[in-house]
Amino acid sequence: MPRTRSIAWAELKIGIIGVAALLLATMLILAVGGQGGFFWQRFPVKTVFKNVLGMKSGALVRVAGNDVGKVTSVQFAGSEVEVSMEISKNVRHLITDESVATLGSLSLLGEPIVEISPAPEGTPVADWATLSSDPSAGAFADAAKSAAAALEQGRQMMTDIQAGRGTMGKLMTDEALYAEMTALAESANAVTKQMASGNGTVGKLMNDPAAYNSMKASLDQLEAIMAKVRRGEGSLGMLMNDEALAKSLAGSSANMESITARINRGEGTVGKLLAEDELYTRMDGIVTRLDTLIGGLSSGKGTAGQLLQDKQLYDNMNTAATSLNELIAAIKADPRKYLTVRVSIFGG
């Protein structure tokens, strides 16, 4: 009998340990798998939606994007649907009478979840309080509307293409455009064949070793010239590498800048010519009088004008000059004939 009692107590201890292990495992599963910790760390609330879009028990509950609980039941309340939730007490101060529950989604096509807006400025709600809900169904409906709009745009685009509207529509339906593109493709194919056969400049460049060698030699020469320039050889090299020449050019630039500044300030003859109105007015007057004088000469006014325009006066002056020249020549030939000098002393 003592042996039997010992076996029974050992079996009882094993049973107690097994039950405790099962309870511990269950609590661990609830703590890890459930949202908001153990049941004594959560508080219940509920809300009402007109359409829950397929929500089921176990759906996530979020506050400001953080997972804080889960949906415990989804059931009809008249024509609407009542959603019960258990939420972690850690965020109880954020869920008040001003909080609003909306439907969200884990992804664009994911299962629906409940999103609660935080409102710490309101009054904290009691257990099983009913939160206000947004009839717009939150981001889940917005995503669905966006997807529907995108599908509608795609449908409209396909309709336009089939009707031949737009570039893509014309490309798909216009026979003339198709023929032009086909001709363009054939022309490109012909050009490619010519290039491959070595015809034309590009074809020779691609297939003629001599052309390649010539271009390579030109590039080598260009590289050699650039190397000389970098070393400071030649005029261009000195221009790019000679500091004295660079300073000289800088000095010339500074002098030009100084001269330009003086001209802008109205200094010197050129500066006064550009800046002073009086000098400009005087020069304009001189030009005007000169123009008047030239106009008078052209119209034959005055002695000079008549000399330029009156042919008879010109002929008379030419004749007089000729006669004078002849007289001077005759005097030179026989001065006694034209020059008689008489000397009288005391009137005798």
Where are the domains positioned within the chain? 1-33, 40-145, 175-204, 284-335
- Is pLDDT of 254 > 60? yes
Average pLDDT over the chain, rounded to an integer: 77
Cβ neighbour number for residue 87 with a 10 Å cutoff: 23
Per residue in 9-37, pLDDT (tens digit) is: 666 667 777 777 777 666 665 555 444 55
Residue 62 corresponds to which amino acid?
R
Structure token digits, residue 212: 């390649």
> Which of 66-80, 106-120, 193-207, 230-244 tops mean pLDDT?
66-80
pLDDT of residue 143: 62
pLDDT of residue 341: 53
Structure token digits, residue 72: 């415990």
3-state secondary structure 42-86: EEEEEEEECCCCCCCCCCEEEECCEEEEEEEEEEEECCEEEEEEE
- Is pLDDT of 4 > 60? no
How far is 107 from 109, CA to CA, in rounded Å?
A: 5
The DSSP line for 97-150 is TT-EEEEEESSTTS-EEEEE---TTSPBPPTTEEEEE-TT-HHHHHHHHHHHHH
- Is pLDDT of 233 > 80? no
Q: Which DSSP state fits 265?
A: T
- Is pLDDT of 176 > 90? no
Average pLDDT score over residue span 119-147: 77
Question: Rounded to 5 degrees, what are φ and ψ at 174?
Answer: -85, 115
- Is pLDDT of 137 > 70? no
pLDDT of residue 48: 94
Strand partners, 202: none
How far is 212 from 204, CA to CA, in rounded Å?
A: 9
Q: 345 to each of 72, 218, 298, how far by Cα in Å?
A: 167, 106, 59
pLDDT of residue 289: 81
Q: Which DSSP state fits 309?
A: H
- Is pLDDT of 38 > 80? no
Candidates 204, 225, 226; CA nearest to 215 is 204
pLDDT of residue 228: 81
Per residue in 278-299, pLDDT (tens digit) is: 767 777 778 788 877 777 777 7
Quick one: pLDDT band at residue 190, thresholds 50, 70, 90? confident
How far is 245 from 116, CA to CA, in rounded Å?
A: 77
Burial of 46 (0-12, 13-18, 19+ CB in 10 A): middle
pLDDT of residue 25: 64
pLDDT of residue 96: 93
Candidates 81, 39, 34; CA nearest to 61 is 34
66 close to 117: Cβ distance less than 8 angstroms: no
pTM of this structure:
0.36
The listed CATH number (2.60.120.10, 2.40.30.110, 2.70.98.60, 3.40.50.300) that belongs to domain 40-145:
2.40.30.110
- Is pLDDT of 140 > 60? no
Q: 194 to each of 173, 191, 198, 278, 317, how far by Cα in Å?
A: 32, 5, 6, 74, 86
Quick one: pLDDT band at residue 6, thresholds 50, 70, 90? low
- Is pLDDT of 75 > 90? yes
Q: 155 to each of 148, 161, 205, how far by Cα in Å?
A: 10, 10, 50
Of residues 134 and 277, more confidence is placed in 134
pLDDT of residue 97: 92
Average pLDDT score over residue span 294-305: 72
Quick one: pLDDT band at residue 135, thresholds 50, 70, 90? low
Candidates 55, 194, 229, 224; CA nearest to 133 is 55
Of residues 222 and 339, more confidence is placed in 222
pLDDT of residue 85: 94
How far is 46 from 41, CA to CA, in rounded Å?
A: 17
pLDDT of residue 1: 47
How far is 83 from 112, CA to CA, in rounded Å?
A: 12
Average pLDDT score over residue span 146-166: 77
341 three-class SS: coil
- Is pLDDT of 268 > 80? no
